[in-house]
Structure 1
Amino acid sequence: MRHRVAHRKLNRTMSHRKALRRNLAQSLIEHGQIRTTLTKAKDVRPFVERLITLARYARLRAASGDAAGSLTARRQIHKLLADRSIVPQASRDEYGGMSDAHRRRALRMPSGRRFRTGDPKGRLAFTGESVIHRLVSDVAARYEDRPGGYTRIIRLADRRVGDHSPLALLQLVGDEEPPTSLTKPGKSARRRRSDARYSAAVKAIRAAGARQAERPGPERVAETGVQREPADTSEEQPGPGAADQS
């Protein structure tokens, strides 16, 4: 028996699980909410809560003048989360047409060791923003007076196409938006194809059931009084003199 197993394997290796948690946490910090499976949302939620607590501690140490304590907390965040740059939504098309050298200048500091955290300077049209910088400066600032419970999980009625896994919405508390209209969102192409295949299968099953119901059974024959003549399967028997003639 395996003891002290307190995590979800998610059918992945340890390094793959670590990369998955980092990617989900970075996307949550960037967008404020993510849509994933219920199991992954439950797995990444305590990881994100710990990161926000460390970011709150870094801000608290910096406000009290303890630069060393703030730096230690930031290093712990970097060790857990790693870092990447967030490209502004309005500059995604421009970023796609840039060369690798231009991308490095737009996303990283002149030293090349850290991602940028400020506004664009010089000839740069835009700059990216460090995920850790946004976590400490924006996300943790909203929860200075909240000692935990920074995220929520909302179960969705939809299921993932393919394996029918339950889906959920993982979001930061305070980023939820009230519904602006009662119109349903449009379905994706994959969802439409799946619904079409399901409808075709249901119609085929119903048509087969209707054909089966049209066939007269024993009870229906008794009601109508029409009997089927049994098929004559008996073979012609030879006469008594057939053996003598042979």
Structure 2
Amino acid sequence: MRHGVKINHLGRTKEHRKALLRNLACQLIEHKRIITTLAKARALRQFVEPLLTRAKTDNMQNRRLVFGYLQHKSAVKELFDVVAEKIAHRPGGYTRIIKLGTRPGDAAEQALIELVDFNETYQKTPSSQKTTTRKTRRGGRKKSTTAAEVQATPPATSAEDSKADAAQ
């Protein structure tokens, strides 16, 4: 029985699982999105989100702690330089998991895990947001010039008529 067991062992030993999550995390940081199984994606989310939180404050201690988990110099550099800049304003929830269906070979549940701030499809940009004005029912509609209004305008005075005739 698995009473109170909170970690998904993924059918691997501790060292194998640690290496797997380390490699997946490095690939996620470098490529910003990866496709893997759903169980691995959920385990990766638990592994990588605390690292992303550490990366928000760039100091030597946090770099050393993150390097202790990842063991990959270029991934740590990318994390602290590029990724941390984008996620600085976000209070949490740095990753998104999207289910993709089953893999044809072994019917394993596939999932796409991505960094939320690096997907332009879901982001709201200032140019795409409409500026709407409040509409009220008071005051009615603005009237446009119609044929009835044109006929209702007073005819030109005789002095204006004489000037127009003289110009011709």
Pairwise TM-score range, normalised by the shorter structure:
0.5 to 0.7
Superposition RMSD in Å = 1.7
Is residue 82 of structure 1 aligned with residue 71 of structure 2? Answer: yes
CA contact (8 A) 2:28 2:34 kept: yes
Out of 92, 105, 110, the position equivalent to 1:148 is 92
Q: In the alignment, what sits opposite 1:26?
A: 26
Q: Within 5 Å, give how 1:107-186 maps onto structure 2.
A: 130-157=74-101, 159-178=102-121
Q: In the alignment, what sits opposite 1:205?
A: none
CA contact (8 A) 2:87 2:117 kept: no
Mapped partners of 2:117, 2:90: distance in 1:
12
TM-score normalized by the length of structure 1: 0.47
Q: In the alignment, what sits opposite 1:65?
A: none
Q: Which runs of 4+ in 1 moved over 6 A?
A: none
Unaligned 5+ residue runs, structure 2? 122-168
Q: In the alignment, what sits opposite 1:13?
A: 13
**Structure 1 residue 4: Cα displacement:** 3.5
Bigger radius of gyration among the two: 1
Counterpart amino acid of 1:139? V
**Structure 1 residue 18: Cα displacement:** 0.2
Identity of aligned residues (%): 48
**Structure 1 residue 3: Cα displacement:** 4.0
**Structure 1 residue 2: Cα displacement:** 4.7
> Could you list the per-position Cα deviations for residues 159-207 of structure 1 after superposition, in whole angstroms to 9, with x for gaps in the alignment?
22322011010000122244xxxxxxxxxxxxxxxxxxxxxxxxxxxxx
Mapped partners of 2:52, 2:3: distance in 1:
30
